[in-house]
Amino acid sequence: MAAMIDLDALQEIAQTLRTHKTRTALAVLTVAWGVFMLVLLLGAGRGLQNGVELQFKDDAINSIRVYRGRTSVAYGGQPRGRRIRFDNTDLERIREQAPAVDKSTARYYPGSELAVSYGKQHASFDLRAVHPDHLYLEKTIITAGRYISDTDLTARRKVAVIGQQVNKLLFAGADPLGEWILIGDIAYQVVGVFSDSGGRSEEETIYLPITTAQLVYGAKSKINQILYTVGDATYQESKASEEKVRQLFAERYEFSPDDKRAVRIYNNLDEYKKITDLFYWVRVFVAVVGAGTVLTGILAVSNIMVISVSERRREIGIRKALGATPSSITRLVVIESLIITTVAGYLGLLASIGLLELLKSTIAENEYMYQPDVNTTVVVAVTLLVIMAGTLAGYLPARRAASINPVEALAPS
């Protein structure tokens, strides 16, 4: 019997919706637009965040880089403008004394003036002499062979790992492993090929063992730059590590610990935190604006249901005169509101997801907007929001309908 009553109620609601097509269409359009804008804004916000995060794809997010500089203030009897130079012991000092150090490497640049050749092919490439951990700092992906090893450093082997663009230019894409290339007048054996998410410029790079390059190019123990990661350390722990490194260098090279130009330290987590903090508030703003749009649609539905109850006042009076209970009248109006908002929400959801999928397939990778999308949690949350809002939108009009006095409703106007 209950099932029959529910079926009858649904048939009656369907008849009501067909009778008032314009009103129903406006209600559906209002809610659908609200849901469409909410999901689209959330997806666009995620796309903006993905685009900005692309800037970090080439380097480990938890990395800290230490650069040489010049002193900007006089300190301890030393003049300003003094150039700071790094050597191998600086890397060891960081490894031994700085907290939270995980992967670490130094860089030495042999010089861009060194020509690279293989057979009749000649070109200039970015040359970087590094330690094995550099693989993790630059997110280098080995596509053939291997990377620089500890044994290469110990034995000072003349080996090279080349980028895919180097491979194309020197070897026309053929297998270069085991072949010898000339860097300046020194021969190196190719032991690996790599790709890099940083793009073409990063793949026009050749990596060498740092000990080998320091030896053959007369650098002794000179290094140009130090890089290290802080593993799973928190942002605060990374800042403590950064400050400890500055203190170590200030003590060794006798410059003011407050002199940020003497040794420049770039903490990647600083920029990443700024971006994540920014997009947290962007998401909050988008959610508030989107929720406001949905709320506007729900209020419109509620107003439409109030009008519907007013128009059906006589009909509801007849129902109550024939024995309909207030709860059955309430249920009828709430179900009608719920059907309108659910169908409208579903249509808005489909339209927004469809548009986001279209944008994902057409927008090329860039740092402004990339892969706009919403996850399953957002979809479920929006669906539940629409269902709850639909119920609330119909509740007050339903209470009004249930309170109609049959005698007053049937009295001639």
- 138 shares its domain with 205: yes
Query: Over pLDDT 70: what percentage of the chain?
Result: 87
Same domain assignment for residues 170 and 194: yes
- Report whether pLDDT(32) > 50: yes
Please give the average per-residue pLDDT across 166-185, as a whole number: 93
pLDDT tens figures, 289-299: 777 777 777 77
Comparing 165 with 318, which gets the higher pLDDT? Answer: 165
Whether residue 88 is found in the same domain as residue 33:
no
The C-alpha atoms of residue 156 and residue 152 are separated, in whole angstroms, by 6
Do 324 and 216 share a structural domain?
Answer: no
Sign of the C-alpha dihedral computed for residues 346, 349, 355 and 360 taken in this order: negative
Q: Which domain holds residue 21?
A: 2-55+273-410
Share of the chain above pLDDT 90, in %: 41
Domain boundary among 244, 267, 290: 267
Give the chain's count of helices (H) and strands (E): 13, 14
> Of 22 and 91, which is predicted with more confidence?
91
Q: Report how far residue 402's alpha carbon sits from residue 413's, in angstroms, rounded to the nearest whole number.
A: 20
- How buried is 348 (Cβ within 10 angstroms: 0-12 exposed, 13-18 middle, 19+ buried)? buried
108/158 same-domain check:
yes
Q: Which one has a higher pLDDT value, 22 or 202?
A: 202
Give the contacts of 239 (CB within 8 A, at least 6 positions apart).
Answer: 267
pLDDT for 106 beyond 90: yes
Report whether 91 contacts 106 (CB < 8 A). Answer: yes
Based on the fold, state whether residues 84 and 153 are members of the same structural domain. yes
Choose the final residue of a domain: 267, 289, 309.
267
Of 168, 169, 83, nearest in space to 121 by CA: 169
Q: What's the rounded Cα separation, in Å, for the pair 172 and 273?
A: 42
300 and 166 in a single domain? The answer is: no
Are 192 and 73 members of one domain? yes
What's the structural domain count of the chain?
Answer: 2
Phi then psi for 229, rounded to 5 degrees? -110, 160
In this predicted structure, what is the pLDDT of residue 22? 74
Q: Does 301 share its domain with 217? A: no
> What three-state secondary structure class fits 349?
helix
Tell me, what's the pLDDT at 4?
38
pLDDT, average across residues 229-250: 93
Instruction: Compute the CA torsion angle 328, 331, 332, 335 (nearest 10 deg).
Output: -160
Please tell me the predicted confidence (pLDDT) of residue 251. Answer: 94
Domain termination site, one of 237, 267, 297: 267
> Are 87 and 179 members of one domain?
yes
Check pLDDT > 70 for residue 179: yes
Structure-block tokens of residue 313: 């006042």
Spell 274-295 as b/e; 16+ CB within 10 A means b. eeeeebeebeeebbeebeebbe
Residues 6+ apart with CB under 8 A from 283: 42, 45
Count CB-CB contacts under 10 A for residue 405.
11
Statement: residue 5 has pLDDT above 50: no
Closest C-alpha among 155, 261, 244, 153 to residue 207: 153
My answer on whether 32 and 110 are in the same domain is no
- Which two structure tokens, joined as six digits, stand for 134? 């550099």
68 plus 202 within the same structural domain: yes
pLDDT attached to residue 222? 95
